[in-house]
Amino acid sequence: MCLENVLLNKNLKFEEAINIAKKGTHCGMCRIDFLETGLCSAGKKNGFIAYWPQGRMEIVNALNSGKVKPTKKLFEIVESCTFCGICDKQCNFTTQLRPQKVHEALKEYVQNLDQSEFQEIAEDDKLKKLQEIVGEKWATNDPIIIASYRRNIVNPDKELNFYAVMPENSKELSEVIKFANKNNLQYMARGGGTLFAMVSSTVMKNAMGLEDGIIIDLLRMKKLEINPEDLTATVGAGITAFELQKEAYKHGLRANVAEAGAHICANLASTGICTTWGNTYGWASDNYTDVELVDEEGNIFNHGEMEIKNPYSVEHGLTSLKLSPPGILTEAMVKLHPIFEGEEAVLVPFDNLKDALQLALKLAKQDIGLSLAVLSRKYLAEFLSPTPQIAKDFDYIAENYMKLNYVVDVICHKNDKKIVEDMVDFTIDKEMMKTLILGCPKLASLKGSEFLKILSEEENPCKAIFAGPMRNHLEKGLEANPENISKIYDEDLRDFFKKIYSKPQMTDVVWLHAFRIFPSRLMRQRMFIPRGGVMWATEKIITDFHDMLKETGEKYNLENALGYISFLEHGKFAVLEYDYYFDHTDPSISKNVNDAVIESLERTLMMDGIISDLHFYFKGLHRKEHILYPIPKAINDEEQILFRELIGSVLGGE
């Protein structure tokens, strides 16, 4: 009995499970203990993605599409789930999905299978050798386990003839690579898998995924040591941003990290950990003091070795695209930074990008703010809102009633806060942010209300509501408390979320900027593809670039919005992310996404002063000065023709 047949029988339980599974986006939040619930015991014990909630959902997708047949391993996977409900809490906070319903349906499906319906796995000598290297438990070619890596390293269109291995250390990894070379097997390492998840519904999936061979899952490399005496941490490839930050905070220190679920090493190697803290903490090789890599011949080496060739320089120009890092990063000695007493958050709202950018540039050039960014209304709405509908309503209210389209978002020392406050008319402070976080469901419900209509008639609605006479009304009206926000969750989860939102960190804007548990909400039930680049920070270059990305998104009918603009090198350079959002379950949208990606890349190359995001991917271990200088010039006509040929050959564009 395949899942399709079950569906034909109109079993609503399976139908619901499949709908949930399809909406899963591999954000990876079910693999970190960000709500202090503990972790999925099956995943923790067995490692492979198949045992984690996100993997089980992908298995259901694969079974439903007929891509894989059940194996005996599926029975083991199903039995490993204790139905403890942790995944529902974690996933609901981020995506509002209920993965446990998927597991329940999967268990029922497996229990109804006849023994004859299990696919037999043939003996395989290569697998035996891989098992000798990493241990029997940690190497497999079982199609059910391989299926769980679809859309997070494996191109969903490919057959499932892969091996998956989980080495425990660099030595085992080195042996795996030597074995792969000797047996002509391709291989690719996987950290959190989020980058590929984002491109897997786009034209880039062929270029960036693994075509066949060995999936190397680095999750078992869990070394994490804080070295407070020299303000560094030693981080294995299986350590996530959240895990590092949690340990660093225990020592009064902070790491420069990407979103909570990102693996530090993978993120470092791919995009160099590009964050809103970059103007102070840096980018690329600024983030580490040494790294350990395993090269393509299986040699283990460190950047600190005297004998190696300069590892920090990079190619420039049109053909400097790279689709893989210079080796597999197994361990990094990352820099940590002191947390100052009395750090503050201050947000300055704007109705237009130009004014927001002018303030942010001024602050960046004066080194004000540990974290400094221009955030869009969209980001603010998505981050703060616990459900997609609340985010939508919040976004509408901010735009139409409050004229709040951008905020300059600053985490800073208390002395710098005073400087910011002196530069502007009014600000949104930490207390008001707490009110917005807890009160956003109520605020969203006020859409169309008299209160908001009156507010919109104010000359400066933001000032009236955040610093004027209406602030008190808003604070009272929103009834912002943990109990009220918990009411938007399913009844069985309300008590849990009331406790969660009672925790001080859940409304502490500084903590939220450091631990970054909200950005995964951008991937809730739908996907986005970030576009952007690093550029010489003039107002004109930044706004022209922003406008081009907006225009391209509009042209291809994609929901689009600025993500953030942050800075590097004392405000000399800006980083801009602009996002195209789409429903990854709708194949008809993929042509528009692909066309928008290719056209925006081409148009980026035709602008002076900008390094496209695709041109700094996989250069994160290099020295930022080598990436940024010389400041790039627009490509010429001949190079544009070459670009089109290249993109056609590489990405399959037209």
Partner 1 sequence: MVKFLSEEWIDIGKKYMLEKLDPVKDLKSITTSLLGVVEHIPPDDITMNFYLELEDGKLKDFIVNTGDTFDEKNAAYEIRGNYGTYKSVLKGEMSLGIAVLKNRLKVKGSKMQALRLIKPLDGVIVSLQKITDEFE
Strands 300-302 and 371-376, how do they pair? unpaired
Residue linked to tokens 């593809």: 529
Residue placing its CB nearer to partner 1 in the complex, 159 or 554: 159
> Which range in 41-49, 203-211, 264-272, 498-506 contacts partner 1 by CB under 8 A?
203-211
Distance (Å, whole) CA 332 – CA 304: 11
156 binds partner 1 per the rule CB under 8 A: no
Distance (Å, whole) CA 232 – CA 151: 34
> Which range in 3-11, 329-337, 427-435, 644-652 contacts partner 1 by CB under 8 A?
644-652
Helix axes 430-445, 388-400, angle to 10 degrees: 100
Distance (Å, whole) CA 597 – CA 580: 9
> Which range in 15-23, 114-122, 316-324, 517-525 contacts partner 1 by CB under 8 A?
316-324
Residue placing its CB nearer to partner 1 in the complex, 573 or 617: 617
Distance (Å, whole) CA 603 – CA 612: 10
159 binds partner 1 per the rule CB under 8 A: no
At 281, is the secondary structure helix, strand, or coil? helix
602 binds partner 1 per the rule CB under 8 A: no
Binding mask 171-200 for partner 1 (x = CB under 8 A): ----------xxxxxx--------------
CB of 328 to partner 1, least distance (A): 12
Kindly tell me the number of DSSP H helices and DSSP E strands found in the chain: 31, 17
296 binds partner 1 per the rule CB under 8 A: yes
Q: Which of 121, 424, 467, 646 binds partner 1 (CB under 8 A)?
A: 646
Residue placing its CB nearer to partner 1 in the complex, 388 or 652: 652
137 binds partner 1 per the rule CB under 8 A: no
At 286, is the secondary structure helix, strand, or coil? helix
317 binds partner 1 per the rule CB under 8 A: yes
608 binds partner 1 per the rule CB under 8 A: no
Contacts 24+ apart (CB under 8 A), 269-272: 269/325, 269/329, 269/618, 269/620, 269/621, 270/195, 270/325, 270/617, 270/618, 270/620, 271/195, 271/613, 271/616, 271/617, 271/620, 272/616, 272/619, 272/620, 272/621, 272/622, 272/624
Q: Which 372-391 positions form the footprint of partner 1 (CB under 8 A)?
A: none
CB of 326 to partner 1, least distance (A): 8
For residue 403, give every residue at least 6 positions away whose Cβ sits within 8 Å of its Cβ, in sequence order, or none. 351, 456, 460, 461, 462
211 binds partner 1 per the rule CB under 8 A: yes
640 binds partner 1 per the rule CB under 8 A: no
Q: Which of 206, 456, 481, 505 binds partner 1 (CB under 8 A)?
A: 206
Q: Which of 324, 449, 481, 538 binds partner 1 (CB under 8 A)?
A: 324
CB of 204 to partner 1, least distance (A): 11
Beta-bridged to residue 515, according to DSSP, are none
84 binds partner 1 per the rule CB under 8 A: no
At 310, is the secondary structure helix, strand, or coil? coil
- Chain residues binding partner 1 by CB under 8 A are 181-186, 206-207, 211-213, 296, 315, 317-324, 326, 642, 645-646, 649-650
